[in-house]
Structure 1
Amino acid sequence: MKLVKSLLLGSAAGIAAVAGAQAADLPSRKAAPVEYVRVCTAYGAGFFYIPGTDSCLRISGRVRAEYAIGTRYSDYQDAYGTRARGRLNIDVRTATAYGTLRTFIRYELTNNTGIYGAGGVTPFNVGATVPGFVRGASSTSTGSLLDLAFVQFGPITAGRAQSFFDFYASDLNFASVRTADSRVNLLAYTATFGSGFSATISAEDRTSGTVGRELPGVSFNPLVGGGAGAAFVQGQDYPDLIASLRVDQGWGSAQLSGAVGQRKYATAVALNAVNGDEMIWAVQGGVKINLPMLAAGDAFWLQAAYADGALGYLGWSAGSLGLGRIGGLTLADAAINPITGNVENSKGWSVVAAFRHFWTPTLRTEITGSYSELKLKYLDAAAVAFNGVTARSADPKEFLLAANLIWSPVSGLDIGVEVLYSHLDVRSPVGLVNNGNARSALLGIKSEDSVAGRLRIQRDF
């Protein structure tokens, strides 16, 4: 019996030893390490490391809904309009031995109806009004916009970015307030001197620009006069050159900026006959003063600008000038004097003031006003027809006043109402926009008022 027990125990031990040896010979599979997404704190909230890299990524955006009503001047125009806009931001930053390497993209899709449409009276872009003969032209439109796409590497900024000429950008997002606010294709170098001081030199392609932070792209192509003083734009030799000096400190910020460029014009009779290069320039100064003694976040802005041959630097859109019943007056950066044959630039100036106040941490108001005057070098053909004797340029004078009341019940959500009042005076009486014709020779007016309001619901994330 003892012999049998010994044999059984020995057999079991041998089998266990063999099994152990075979198990040791089998290949083992180690679990792959799990790579978790890590928060990146170097560049503020919302950034995280892209797995497998040392670059930090932040994805953000906006959804915006607007419901507007405005003064109606014709049966062909809608009295209301709606807008839906989606925005996506992608921000990637990497620390390098030469400083931060940043890549930023902002893309927008917008659907407009009614008074927001390209062919209707647009109270939030007064100055680019084209009254339509049929409602269909202004009933709806959909557009896409690559608003920003740039690379920053140390002091260099390349791509599509905010113009370094600009200073004040309205929280109201009323594009009609006359302030330069455009994104353009540019190449810039910024030098920092410490204590918040910096200086920038930028080469900017104004033909790529946008007018208004909340509108689809509007061409900044040099405006030209039509009719007897028509000047046809020819190719430029170089982009506009921008220089700015800026300071940002605890009390606020200030900036002095200037622009200089070149335009070529030719007569309508001989497009190849260049009437010479015409230099254009603009200058702007602005200051922002923080007012924490009133409430956290309160601030006051004051800005003034002057332009010679470049009305876009004042915040005016390319195209026709119109407000309410006034229509068909062409804005022109320059025109050719039919008597002397010389190119003559249009000139203008504008002043903007704004005040932002937080009634409570979740309730704020911003009030913005602008006044501008233009001296147009353009003999308006319509003025000849309606005045019958002397053709004179419109030389518009414009006053705009906008205000809002915004409630932010939770972070990133804005619900509010906004109103805009516009007043336009022109030098000579012009025809009316009426139901049967774009312009009527029966009556002439020299001034017009317009009022518009909107409800805005906006979520930023």
Structure 2
Amino acid sequence: MKLVQSLLLGSVAGLTFIAGAQAADLPAKKAAPIDYVRVCSTYGTGFFYIPGTETCLRVGGRVRAEYLYSEPIERTDDAVGFYVRGRVQLDARTATAYGLLRSVVRFEITRRSGTPLNGVDGTITTSPQVAEAFVQFGGLTAGRVISFFSDGDLPTEHFGTLRFDDAPDVDLLAYTFTFGNGFSATLSIEDGLERRQNDFIAGGFAAVPLAFAGQRAPDLVGNLKYEGTWGGAQLSGAVHQIRSVALINPATGPVIFGPGIAGTVPDTDYGFAAAAYLHANLPTIAPGDAMWLAATYTNGALAYMNGGNSALNVDPFNALVVNGGLGLVDAFINPITGDIKRGHGWSIAGGFRHYWTPSIRQSVFGSYMRVEYGRGASSVTPAGFVVGLTDFNEWRLGSNIIWSPVSGLDLGLEVIYARVDPRGRVFIPATGLVFGQESGVEGRLRVQRDF
């Protein structure tokens, strides 16, 4: 029995030795390398290194829901509206020997319903868009981003429209010169198609609508800017091309012009705009408190004071009067001479933000706008009504209060009062309406989550 046990143990030991020797001859399988995601603190919170690269990436987004009340004038008007927007944003940054290389893509999908959208009630729209997509390399900026005419550093926090260039996104190609100590200057060529303003009153008997011809030159924009610990200031200027097609109305045939005018093409004209911005931090009142001011003058480029909007009224309450009776146009055709006549105006806007507590803040804001068209833009009927483009002023005053119970969540309520004062009683032939001073109230409830 002992002999059998000795033979079995010896056999097992031998087999184990042979298997071990054979296994030693096989190639060893290495564990797969693990590439951990590293936090990138160079550019602030939320950035991480894309594995295998030295590029830092931040993934962010926003969900915004608004519920709007706009005072109705007629029975057909929608008094309430709904607004929902979803945003996804990617921000990639890489340090290079030539300076920072940055790329940003921001997609937004917006759905609106109710309240007048572009003057139409009962409308539901869904608009996916590339809100921003740009590359920055050193001083170069190319793509779609906030216009350099605007000052994107203003501490504004209003939901509705105010009359200044409120940080619109446009297509551009720009270069920024940095001088140090907070000073910089930028020269930018920007898409003038997004700055065309021609909300003309249909049926006017005096001024003739200008039908824009093709763009031959982009808008030329420049600014001089300073940013410091106390706040900042900026001076901006823009030149805007105005071109008309032949003086023929495709819908009604030749317009009645003076002798020899119909069928001619007016000379190309150029409008311009200038603006000054100022903002100041006020930590002595409360941490986070700030004030801002924006003053704008436009001549033939009225979109530069139209609340950051282009010719389309992207804000439901952006109408100049609640029943849509006044026009905001870059230029019109004088029916006597056939020349392009520019509209001009100026605006001033400002606001103050105060933190009552670290989680509750309030803003008070307002704007005033004056628009003038001059001779040939309007006429007076025998009944004493003004027909055509009339001079007017508009002012807006509002306030909101925002509660942020947790980081990234805003619950806000805002009220804006707007009033338009035209010169005289304005008659709109297309609708048969006659009106004078008009006013309206808008209320918004906003729920917003940023991440």
Cα distance in structure 2, aligned partners of 1:448 and 1:388? 19
Cα distance in structure 1, aligned partners of 2:383 and 2:32? 84
| Aligned: 1:46 with 2:31 | no
* 8 Å contact kept, 2:386–2:424: no
Cα distance in structure 1, aligned partners of 2:415 and 2:140? 39
**Residue 379 of structure 1, CA deviation:** 5.5
- Change in CA separation of 1:460 and 1:378 when aligned onto 2, cut-off 3 Å: farther
Cα distance in structure 1, aligned partners of 2:143 and 2:383? 48
* 8 Å contact kept, 1:169–1:181: no
Structure 1 partner of 2:360: 363
Give 2:416's match in structure 1, choosing from 407, 416, 420.
Answer: 420
Question: Residues 65-144 of structure 1 correspond to what in structure 2 (within 5 A)?
Answer: 65-115=65-115, 117-118=116-117, 130=119, 132=120, 137-144=121-128
Structure 2 partner of 1:262: 241
* 8 Å contact kept, 1:374–1:395: yes
**Residue 3 of structure 1, CA deviation:** 9.6
Give 1:295's match in structure 2, choosing from 269, 286, 290.
Answer: 286
Cα distance in structure 2, aligned partners of 1:182 and 1:9? 86
Give 2:209's match in structure 1, choosing from 210, 227, 230.
Answer: 230
**Residue 448 of structure 1, CA deviation:** 0.6
**Residue 340 of structure 1, CA deviation:** 2.4
* 8 Å contact kept, 1:332–1:378: no
**Residue 65 of structure 1, CA deviation:** 1.1
Structure 2 partner of 1:153: 137
* 8 Å contact kept, 2:386–2:425: no
Question: Residues 24-43 of structure 1 correspond to what in structure 2 (within 5 A)?
Answer: 24-43=24-43
| Aligned: 1:440 with 2:432 | yes
Give 1:279's match in structure 2, choosing from 257, 265, 270.
Answer: 270
* 8 Å contact kept, 1:364–1:406: yes
**Residue 235 of structure 1, CA deviation:** 2.0
**Residue 271 of structure 1, CA deviation:** 8.9
Cα distance in structure 2, aligned partners of 1:108 and 1:23? 59
Q: Any stretches of 5+ residues in structure 1 without a counterpart?
A: 120-129, 210-219
Cα distance in structure 1, aligned partners of 2:289 and 2:35? 44
- Change in CA separation of 1:197 and 1:396 when aligned onto 2, cut-off 3 Å: same
- Change in CA separation of 1:80 and 1:385 when aligned onto 2, cut-off 3 Å: farther
Structure 1 counterpart SS, 2:283: coil
- Change in CA separation of 1:5 and 1:408 when aligned onto 2, cut-off 3 Å: closer
Letter in 2 for 1:183: D
* 8 Å contact kept, 2:334–2:377: no
| Aligned: 1:201 with 2:187 | yes
Any runs of at least 4 consecutive aligned residues in structure 1 with deviations exceeding 6 A, and if so which? 1-10
Deviates more, 1:364-373 or 1:272-281: 272-281
Letter in 1 for 2:447: I
Deviates more, 1:144-153 or 1:383-392: 383-392
- Change in CA separation of 1:221 and 1:13 when aligned onto 2, cut-off 3 Å: same
**Residue 393 of structure 1, CA deviation:** 2.9
Letter in 1 for 2:289: D
Structure 2 partner of 1:213: none
| Aligned: 1:458 with 2:444 | no
Structure 1 partner of 2:178: 192
- Change in CA separation of 1:2 and 1:59 when aligned onto 2, cut-off 3 Å: closer
**Residue 421 of structure 1, CA deviation:** 0.4
Cα distance in structure 2, aligned partners of 1:363 and 1:21? 75
Deviates more, 1:15-24 or 1:301-310: 15-24
Letter in 1 for 2:298: A
* 8 Å contact kept, 1:251–1:289: yes
Cα distance in structure 2, aligned partners of 1:387 and 1:372? 29
Structure 1 partner of 2:257: none
Structure 1 partner of 2:196: 221
- Change in CA separation of 1:387 and 1:253 when aligned onto 2, cut-off 3 Å: farther
Give 1:165's match in structure 2, choosing from 126, 149, 152.
Answer: 149
Structure 2 counterpart SS, 1:329: coil
Letter in 1 for 2:350: A
**Residue 240 of structure 1, CA deviation:** 0.7
* 8 Å contact kept, 1:229–1:379: no
* 8 Å contact kept, 2:155–2:291: no
* 8 Å contact kept, 1:377–1:393: no
Give 2:351's match in structure 1, choosing from 348, 351, 354.
Answer: 354
Provide TM-score, normalisation by structure 2.
Answer: 0.87
Cα distance in structure 2, aligned partners of 1:49 and 1:143? 33
- Change in CA separation of 1:423 and 1:103 when aligned onto 2, cut-off 3 Å: same
Cα distance in structure 1, aligned partners of 2:5 and 2:393? 116
Structure 1 counterpart SS, 2:78: coil
Deviates more, 1:18-27 or 1:365-374: 18-27
Cα distance in structure 1, aligned partners of 2:333 and 2:383? 22
- Change in CA separation of 1:3 and 1:415 when aligned onto 2, cut-off 3 Å: closer
Cα distance in structure 2, aligned partners of 1:447 and 1:456? 30
* 8 Å contact kept, 1:206–1:239: yes
**Residue 338 of structure 1, CA deviation:** 1.9
Structure 1 counterpart SS, 2:22: helix
**Residue 34 of structure 1, CA deviation:** 1.3
Cα distance in structure 2, aligned partners of 1:260 and 1:372? 20
**Residue 112 of structure 1, CA deviation:** 1.2
Post-superposition CA distance 1:22-45 (Å, at most 9, x none)? 111223211101111111111110
Structure 2 partner of 1:249: 228
Structure 1 counterpart SS, 2:156: coil
- Change in CA separation of 1:427 and 1:205 when aligned onto 2, cut-off 3 Å: same
* 8 Å contact kept, 1:233–1:263: yes
Letter in 2 for 1:440: G
Deviates more, 1:266-275 or 1:415-424: 266-275
| Aligned: 1:410 with 2:389 | no
Structure 2 counterpart SS, 1:17: helix
Cα distance in structure 2, aligned partners of 1:2 and 1:114? 99
Letter in 2 for 1:265: S
* 8 Å contact kept, 2:192–2:240: no
Structure 1 counterpart SS, 2:167: coil
**Residue 243 of structure 1, CA deviation:** 0.8
- Aligned Cα RMSD in Å? 2.7
Total equivalences in the alignment: 426
* 8 Å contact kept, 2:191–2:219: yes
**Residue 430 of structure 1, CA deviation:** 2.0
Post-superposition CA distance 1:25-81 (Å, at most 9, x none)? 223211101111111111110001111221111011111111121211111112211
**Residue 431 of structure 1, CA deviation:** 4.1
* 8 Å contact kept, 2:398–2:416: yes
